[in-house]
Structure 1
Amino acid sequence: MKVLVATAETQGDRGNDFHYAVEGELVRIDSPCARDRRDPDGGCGCGRSFAGLNSARPTTTARIADLPLSRADVAEALRSSLAQQGWNPSWAAEEAGSLLDLVADLPVGTVVGRRFYDVVIRRPAVDVPDRAT
């Protein structure tokens, strides 16, 4: 299943990039705080970053990965993360569905950024030719 995972790829392409999440962990899109609600480039950074489900740490870049997870697995990972961070875990199934729908049509390997609730392509998927063995 295609999911969003934290990545350091393309970090530094923008002057306000940051990557504190764990490389490869599932990420979600948090609501922006009052400080960033009008400007995704605001001082907090929550209007332009993804949040790691395990670390709860942010990154401004994520990558589309194909992982052996079901929709139910993604919802459970999200439910657990929300509960651990003090959010309402009943949102998990709906939020997981929205995240999965958001990336469904993007090729694996695409690196994306975030502008509020939209993802923007920062680097298209790169085709790696098969090596002859």
Structure 2
Amino acid sequence: MKVLVATARTQGEREGDFNWCVEGELVWIGLVCASDQADPDGGRCGCGRSFGGLNSHRGTTTAMVRDLPGFTHADYVEALRSSLEQQGWPPGLAESEADELLELARYWPPGTVVERRLDTISVRVFAGHERR
């Protein structure tokens, strides 16, 4: 199953990059505060341009598509449910969140690095096409 995980690859390529997640942990796309909604690059917290780590509950501006053999849809939903509950979000959102994240990850091959600007996910590095 292809999923999005935190990565430090391409960090520093864009001003304002940050990576406080654990390398390789599953990520999700959280809600955006009013400040970042107005300007994801000028907001105080960076939530409009970051992915959130399911275990660390920290943020990163880069995520990588990774294939996790043996990892099931039920595993993914449970990982999201547990993280949402720990963070005070409604755990009932887990299945729809999992479906949306899986839909995103299915478009790119493993190794592709993506970034986020509000509701737009863009490729930084397409797998197999490294920048020099």
| TM-score w.r.t. length of structure 2 | 0.93
SS of the equivalent of 1:80 reads helix
Give structure 1 regions of 4+ aligned residues with deviation exceeding 3 angstroms.
none
SS of the equivalent of 1:36 reads helix
Counterparts of 1:75 and 1:17 in 2: how far apart (Å)? 28
Q: Where does residue 49 of structure 1 map in the other structure?
A: 50
Q: Deviations over 1:69-122 (max 9, x none)?
A: 111111110000000111100000011000000111111100000011221000
RMSD of the alignment, in Å? Answer: 1.3
Asked if structure 2 preserves the Cα contact closer than 8 Å seen for 1:29 and 1:117, the reply is no
Q: Where does residue 67 of structure 2 map in the other structure?
A: 66
Q: How does 1:83-94 map to 2 (within 5 A)?
A: 83-94=85-96
Q: Deviations over 1:14-37 (max 9, x none)?
A: 111000000000000011101101
* Higher helix proportion (structure 1 or 2): 2
SS of the equivalent of 1:35 reads helix
| TM-score w.r.t. length of structure 1 | 0.92
Structure 2's unaligned 5+ residue stretches are none
Q: Where does residue 37 of structure 1 map in the other structure?
A: 37
Deviation at 1:42, TM superposition (A): 2.2
Between structure 1 and structure 2, the one with the greater Rg is 1
Asked if structure 2 preserves the Cα contact closer than 8 Å seen for 1:61 and 1:111, the reply is yes
Counterparts of 1:119 and 1:125 in 2: how far apart (Å)? 15
Q: Percent identity?
A: 60
SS of the equivalent of 1:101 reads helix
Q: Where does residue 110 of structure 1 map in the other structure?
A: 112
Q: Where does residue 15 of structure 2 map in the other structure?
A: 15
